[in-house]
Each structure stands twice: as C-alpha cells, then as structure tokens.
C-alpha cells in the first residue's frame, strides 16, 4: 500500500487542518442552513451561530489533540493511505461524540445517543470535503518522491568532496564500515538497497549526528527510527533488530547501548 506524502504530516498542513476544516464546517452550516440542522440545534439565528461556534471550538480541540502528536512524530510515522483514512475517520467520530455531549448537556430534552446520531450525520455530510481537498492538494503539489524538506536530505560525499548520494534521512537503515569504504544501507520504496562510498566513519560523523543517525558500535551507525528492539544473542552480544523483514541485525556495543535505548 502506498505511503502518504510526508507533506500531510508537516507543520503547515497541521495548521491547515486545525484552522481550515473547522472554518469550512462553520461556514457550511451558517450558509446552507438546512431545516434539519436548525431543528437539531433548536436555535434561532443567534443561537445557531453560538452553537455552531461552540461546536467549531470542540473540533479545533479534537484536531489539535490528534494532529499535534501526529506531526511531532512525523519522522517515525510511515502511514499508508488506509491508515491515514482510518485516523481521519476516528477524528470525525471523536469530534461527533464530544459535539453530541455538548448538545445533550445544553438541551436537556435531547438524549445523548439521538444527538450522537445527528452529529455523525452532520459531520459525515460536511467533513469529507475539506479532508479530501487538503489530501489532494498535498499529493499534487508535493509528490511523495520530491517532498522531503531540504534539511531532511542527507548528502554523502566521498573523501575528495564529490557528492555521490542524496537520500532522505528516514530511509537510512544503518551504515557499516568496510576497510576504506562505508556501506550505506537504505530503503528505496520498500526494497533495501546498499551503496558503497569511499569515505571513513569519522568523515561522516558530523553528518550523521546532524541527521540523528547514531553510532552504535565502532564500525556501525544505525537509524533509531528503524530499530524495532534491542536484544542479546546467545553469545551475550547486544543486537539491534530492524523493522525491515529479513534485514541484518546491527551489533551494539555496551558503550552506546544506553544512549540508543533512550532514543527508542
């Protein structure tokens, strides 16, 4: 299943969700003013505006609670379109549950579950449009292969300073020293790839630190976002198991174990 564009988890898109979706929701209610919406909110024009604003505030709160952690963890999330769709549907359901609670408390003659049914009907009549528009804009304006922010790209140069490989930091699995070369193991789509670069571990040390790729052993760097678990093998050697099927385990020396374990 295809992954969503990283731009959907960016800070600008977070602000777009938190601000544009509630405004779209409010504008739709106030402009469309269908009879059943007005009856459900049991309001004249003034109370319709007030209740709509309160419900919009509830939506902003739900979106903040959902989208801020999602954006904060964006470097470790690789959501498929199905997972992202389910996440968005969950936001709509949670928002509807809180909106129904508000309506049931404001108007004592409305039971919670009838209010929930109406809120779900209202939400799923309006909210798919702004969600879909934002997702389409992000997919069209910033295609998945080109969306990585400039600061997220790792530029590998050889010992002469010539640029040899440019990849996003989150696709790097681990880097292994091999005599006068370093072997860069990374993902291309879903497939593991390897690139041999004439360079030393010390020569890429500053570059790795800048992009969060950590030293785990004298001859290895590893990307913590791809480490599934740390375990000891039968010989007592600590190994970092990666989240890629059939990937090689990366040895971890005791010197770096605590630092790496804190990052998982």
pTM over 0.75: no
3-state SS, residue 128: helix
Residues 116-163 have pLDDT tens digits of 998 999 899 999 999 999 988 887 765 444 444 556 789 999 999 999
Residue with the larger pLDDT of the pair 131 and 106:
131
Among the listed residues 40, 43, 9, 45, the one whose alpha carbon sits nearest the alpha carbon of residue 149: 9
* pLDDT at position 1 over 60: no
Burial of 163 (0-12, 13-18, 19+ CB in 10 A): exposed
State residue 42's pLDDT score.
59
Nearest to 172 by CA among 241, 242, 82: 242
Structural domains in the chain plus CATH codes? 6-141 (no CATH), 150-263 (2.40.50.1020)
Across the chain, mean pLDDT equals 86
Predicted pLDDT of residue 190 = 81
Spatial distance between the Cα atoms of 24 and 48, rounded to a whole number of angstroms: 16
């Amino acid at each position: 299943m295809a992954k969503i564009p990283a731009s959907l988890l960016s800070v600008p898109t977070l602000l777009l969700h938190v601000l544009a979706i509630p405004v779209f929701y409010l504008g739709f209610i106030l402009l469309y003013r269908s009879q059943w919406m007005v009856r459900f909110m049991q309001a004249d024009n003034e109370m319709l505006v007030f209740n709509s604003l309160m419900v919009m505030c509830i939506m902003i709160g739900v979106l903040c609670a959902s989208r801020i952690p999602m954006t904060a963890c964006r470097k470790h999330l690789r959501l498929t379109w199905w997972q992202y769709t389910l996440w968005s549907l969950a936001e709509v359901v949670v928002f509807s549950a809180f909106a129904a609670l508000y309506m049931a408390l404001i108007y004592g003659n409305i039971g919670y579950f009838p209010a929930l049914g109406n809120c779900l009907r209202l939400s799923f009549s309006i909210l798919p449009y702004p969600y879909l528009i934002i997702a389409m804009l992000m997919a069209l304006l910033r295609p998945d292969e080109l969306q990585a922010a400039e600061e997220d790209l790792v530029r590998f140069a050889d010992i002469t300073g010539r640029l040899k490989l440019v990849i996003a930091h989150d696709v790097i699995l681990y880097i292994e020293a091999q005599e006068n070369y370093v072997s860069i193991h990374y993902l291309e789509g879903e497939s593991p790839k390897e690139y041999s670069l004439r360079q030393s571990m010390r020569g890429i040390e500053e570059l790795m630190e800048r992009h969060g790729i950590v030293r785990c052993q004298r001859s290895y760097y590893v990307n913590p976002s791809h480490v599934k678990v740390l375990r000891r093998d039968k010989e007592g050697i600590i190994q970092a198991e990666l989240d890629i099927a059939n990937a090689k385990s990366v040895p971890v020396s005791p010197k770096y174990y605590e630092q790496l374990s804190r990052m998982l």
